Amino acid sequence: MRNAKIVCTLGPASDSTEEITALAEAGMSVARLNASHGTPEQRRDTIDRIRAVDETVDHPVAVMHDIPGPEVRTADIDEPIHLEADSRIRFYQGDDATPEAVGLSLDISAVEAGDRVLLDDGRIETIVEEVDGSDIYARVQNGGELQARKGVNIPGVELGLPTVTEKDREELKVAAEKQADLVAASFVRDGSDIREIAETLREFGADIPIVAKIERAGAVQNLDSIIEEAYGIMVARGDLGVELPLEVVPLYQKRIIRKCNQAGVPVITATEMLDSMVESRRPTRAEASDVANAVLDGTDAVMLSGETAIGNHPPRVVDTMASIVEEVENSEEYEDVRGQRIPEADDSRADALAHAARFLAEDVDATAIVAASESGHSALKMAKFRP
């Protein structure tokens, strides 16, 4: 049994019953639904299919409902447009986009001259020159082709957007109705955001564990308060790599994983882990090393995004990732670092018992540890010490 689990994002290439079954049989433990795309009704139907598959496979398959949060995206256009370098464009809140004016899902008028507005994971860069009410005029530094609904990042700028948008409320209602196992919260800023999302879930009669996605510089700074409030953490390297200098992201990944391990909080490493396999049948050597090193760092799960959502052969990608994880977990290097990562017990009785049980089980070569629990708290405490 693999210690590190595999999270798969479902999409057009993988949301049929047959494909979900194939992913589960290849090693998927968690099916992620990205609420930035599609409709709530589509997610209801997909959750029903996941539950049906869960009944037929030999291991649990959990549902993670990933809500968009206060994200800004470009307009949902039918055809790509090309933004020329050194051209002047206008950003506004709207549903259309041309090479001269790009509509956005939310208002960004809190920006100032000199701020960077990055599109499509930073592939297109613009610099704000003028703010005229809700219209923002910017100069394109790095041009390129812009497709529909691409992410917009404005590093270092607080836009004052609500933690829970109307779209989020609609998605949280679906998560509550369909009893999702996890809710992933996008663009969280601090622990208070997690509390607000949890309160919204309670309004809908649900108490669902929340996984906080770390994808802003501010979230890195407020990591301690987020860890304290969230069930788990996701290192969302895509937006994080746009908000922060690219060269520091690997270091932050290691630091976040280490902090989560010490706190006994599950942590997921995500974004472009096997990205070349969207089209290719084999990963690059760098991608294989990326997955392996995340496992050696102590991640509790590795996540696939476009590889399974829109890729050419999703089950093969999962099978490849499972093989890499298993190879690492059977190595001497893994055993060495695993023993070094066991955190100290705190002053609570539950921590002391779980810590002692972990070493007792190792001494007697126990096959399993049974943590009898009504809430799941004891099982989480046990997992903290990585038996």
**DSSP output for 155-201:** TT------SS-HHHHHHHHHHHHTT-SEEEETT--SHHHHHHHHHHH
What mean pLDDT is reported for the chain? 96
CATH architecture classification, 5-69+164-334: Alpha-Beta Barrel (3.20)
Q: State the CB neighbour count (10 A cutoff) for residue 79.
A: 7
Annotated catalytic residue within 213, 216, 237, 358: 213
HEC assignment per residue over 35-81: CCCCCHHHHHHHHHHHHHHHCCCCCCCEEEEEECCCCEEECCCCCCE
pLDDT digits (tens, 9 = 90+) for 276-303: 999 999 999 999 999 999 999 999 999 9
Mean pLDDT value across residues 93-97: 96
Task: Report, as an integer, the average pLDDT of 21-36.
Answer: 98
Give whole-number Cα distances, 100 to 60, 82, 129, 148, 327, in Å.
Answer: 50, 10, 15, 15, 51
pLDDT of residue 237: 97
Instruction: Give the CATH number of domain 72-153.
Output: 2.40.33.10
Residue 341 has pLDDT above 90, yes or no: no
For the chain, give the percent of residues with pLDDT over 90.
93
Residues with Cβ within 8 Å of 79's Cβ and at least 6 positions away in sequence, in order, are none
Q: For residue 246, what pLDDT is reported?
A: 92
Answer for the pair 118, 104: CB distance below 8 angstroms, yes or no: no
pLDDT confidence bin for 1, thresholds 50/70/90:
confident
- DSSP for 310-350, please give it: T-S-HHHHHHHHHHHHHHHHTSHHHHHHHHHTPPPP-SSHH
330: confidence class by pLDDT, cuts 50, 70, 90:
very high
271 is annotated as an active-site residue: yes
Pairing of strands 62-67, 182-185: parallel
pLDDT band at 361 (very low <50, low <70, confident <90, very high): very high
**Cα–Cα distance for residue pair 270/301, rounded to 1 Å:** 9
Which pLDDT band holds residue 163 (cuts at 50, 70, 90)? very high
Q: Inter-axis angle of helices 166-177 and 191-203, to 10 degrees? A: 60
Give the pLDDT confidence score for residue 167 in this predicted structure.
96
In contact, 187 and 220? CB cutoff 8 Å: no
- Averaged pLDDT for residues 351-365: 93
Res 139: pLDDT: 99
Residue whose C-alpha is closest to residue 1's, from 349, 326, 371, 334: 326
Q: Which member of 200, 271, 299, 320 is catalytic? A: 271
- Which residue is listed with tokens 């102590």? 298
Backbone angles phi, psi at 169, to 5 degrees: -60, -40
How far is 242 from 371, CA to CA, in rounded Å?
41
Q: Is 259 a catalytic residue?
A: no
Q: What is the DSSP code string of 96-111?
A: -B-SSEEEESS--TT-
- The arrangement of strands across the sheet holding 72-73 comes to 72-73, 151-153, 116-119, 124-132, 135-142, 88-93, 101-104
Tokens of 205: 């009669």
Kindly indicate the confidence band of residue 347, based on its pLDDT and cuts at 50, 70 and 90: confident
Choose the catalytic residue: 32, 189, 216, 384. Answer: 32
Task: Give the integer Cα–Cα distance in Å for 223 and 217.
Answer: 10
Q: Is 73 a catalytic residue?
A: yes
SS3 139: strand
Residue at token pair 């108490």: 207
| pLDDT at residue number 344 | 87
pLDDT at position 108 is 97
Percent of the chain scored above 70 by pLDDT?
Answer: 100
Domain definitions of the chain by residue range: 5-69+164-334, 72-153, 342-384
Q: Name the pLDDT band for 377 (thresholds 50, 70, 90).
A: confident
Asked if the model's pLDDT at residue 123 lies above 90, the reply is yes
Same fold: 5-69+164-334 with 72-153: no
Catalytic residue among 5, 43, 73, 150: 73
